[in-house]
């Protein structure tokens, strides 16, 4: 099988509940296929997400811009470019495009971002929010308040040995110093029409983010459902800290999104950034959304 080693940004736009949602990109990386698929047999996942020779699979870093009135909200914070050559090689980090480039190509300057909402603080979800300028780390979006689960902020700033590989304190430090960082817990209305739900499972505080109202909603899946191939509730990543919790929240929210007809926003899917999940008997399937 011809394995795609590099990805291409799929620029997509949807209107949901009065919000204009644009799929942006902070490029791609590659992670071990077995780690991304947990107990799912390789013979099965290899056909859905073909691995390269080193067993890594291509994953996107799809951030989303949600615009309504004066609000330009960035959902999720990319992987960024503060990576040395060794780590860039291990994770096959490809900044093609970067979050700055994809925002510029839709005509939005960093200063125009009003809020950033993070699902959790793993380095591949918030690494682009600070940049190095004159040897100092500063916020990339100087006018944006950044909202993240409180427990994720705590893990990021002082991770224990089990969590240390997933977090970098530098990703949030400059935001905290600038007074831009705000923690949320449980279910939190960040803005009218933007709601975060702390679920846990994958990480202590991983959250889904809802955009819109009632049935006219999109759901940003974060690492709760990382790609459109991970939509069966037992397909849980080996990275997840609490597998039983992951199963419970995935089953509940996958069912809910299918029953409500919400548009799913998938952070790590290299081909499909926006799609609805549908029920197909006891299983689930993907209906690619018309925008």
Residues at the contact surface with Zn ion, assessed by CB under 5 A: 122, 223
- Nearer to Zn ion by C-beta: 97 or 127? 127
Sign of CA dihedral 182, 150, 223, 193: negative
> DSSP string spanning 154-198?
HHHHS--TTTGGG--THHHHHHHHTT-EEEE-SEEEEETTEEEEE
CB of 246 vs Zn ion, minimal distance in Å: 11
CB of 174 vs Zn ion, minimal distance in Å: 21
CB of 114 vs Zn ion, minimal distance in Å: 25
- Nearer to Zn ion by C-beta: 115 or 223? 223
CB of 219 vs Zn ion, minimal distance in Å: 16
CB of 77 vs Zn ion, minimal distance in Å: 12
CB of 82 vs Zn ion, minimal distance in Å: 18
3-state helix, strand, coil in the chain (%, to 5): 25, 30, 45
Upper half-sphere CA count for residue 59 (Cβ side, 13 Å): 30
* Helices marked H in the chain: 33-37, 42-48, 85-90, 99-105, 123-126, 150-157, 170-177, 243-260
- Nearer to Zn ion by C-beta: 19 or 167? 167
- Nearer to Zn ion by C-beta: 195 or 223? 223
> Are 270 and 58 contacting, i.e. CB atoms less than 8 angstroms apart?
yes
- Nearer to Zn ion by C-beta: 195 or 204? 204
> Are 272 and 228 contacting, i.e. CB atoms less than 8 angstroms apart?
yes
CB of 164 vs Zn ion, minimal distance in Å: 14
> Are 152 and 203 contacting, i.e. CB atoms less than 8 angstroms apart?
yes
- Nearer to Zn ion by C-beta: 246 or 257? 246
- Nearer to Zn ion by C-beta: 76 or 223? 223
* DSSP for residue 78: -
- How many residues are present in the chain? 291
Cα separation, 21 vs 274, whole angstroms: 10
Sign of CA dihedral 166, 169, 174, 179: positive
- Nearer to Zn ion by C-beta: 30 or 122? 122
> Are 46 and 58 contacting, i.e. CB atoms less than 8 angstroms apart?
no
* Residue closest to Zn ion, measured at CB: 122
């Amino acid at each position: 099988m011809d394995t795609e080693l590099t990805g291409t940004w799929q620029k997509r736009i949807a209107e949901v509940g009065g919000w204009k949602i644009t799929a942006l990109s902070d490029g791609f990386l590659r992670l071990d296929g077995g780690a991304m698929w947990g107990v799912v047999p390789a013979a099965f996942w290899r056909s859905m997400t073909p691995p390269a020779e080193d067993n890594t699979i291509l994953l996107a870093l799809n951030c989303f811009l949600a615009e309504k009135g004066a609000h330009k909200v960035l959902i999720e914070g990319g992987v960024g470019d503060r990576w040395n050559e060794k780590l860039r090689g291990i994770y096959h980090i490809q900044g093609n495009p970067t979050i700055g480039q994809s925002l510029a190509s839709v005509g939005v300057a960093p200063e125009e971002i009003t809020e950033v909402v993070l699902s959790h603080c793993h380095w591949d979800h918030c690494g682009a929010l600070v940049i190095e300028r004159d040897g100092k780390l500063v916020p990339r979006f100087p006018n944006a308040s950044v909202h993240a689960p409180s427990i994720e902020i705590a893990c990021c700033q002082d991770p224990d040995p089990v969590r240390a590989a997933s977090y970098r304190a530098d990703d949030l430090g400059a935001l905290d110093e600038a007074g831009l960082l705000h923690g949320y817990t449980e279910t939190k209305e960040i803005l009218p029409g933007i709601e975060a739900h702390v679920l846990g499972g994958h990480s202590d505080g991983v959250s889904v983010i809802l955009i819109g109202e009632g049935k006219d909603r999109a759901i940003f899946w974060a690492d709760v459902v990382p790609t459109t191939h991970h939509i069966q509730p037992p397909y849980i990543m080996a990275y997840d800290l609490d597998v039983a919790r992951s199963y419970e929240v995935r089953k509940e929210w996958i069912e809910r999104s299918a029953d409500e007809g919400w548009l799913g926003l998938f952070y790590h899917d290299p081909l499909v950034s926006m799609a609805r999940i549908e029920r197909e008997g006891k299983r689930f399937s993907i209906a690619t959304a018309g925008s």
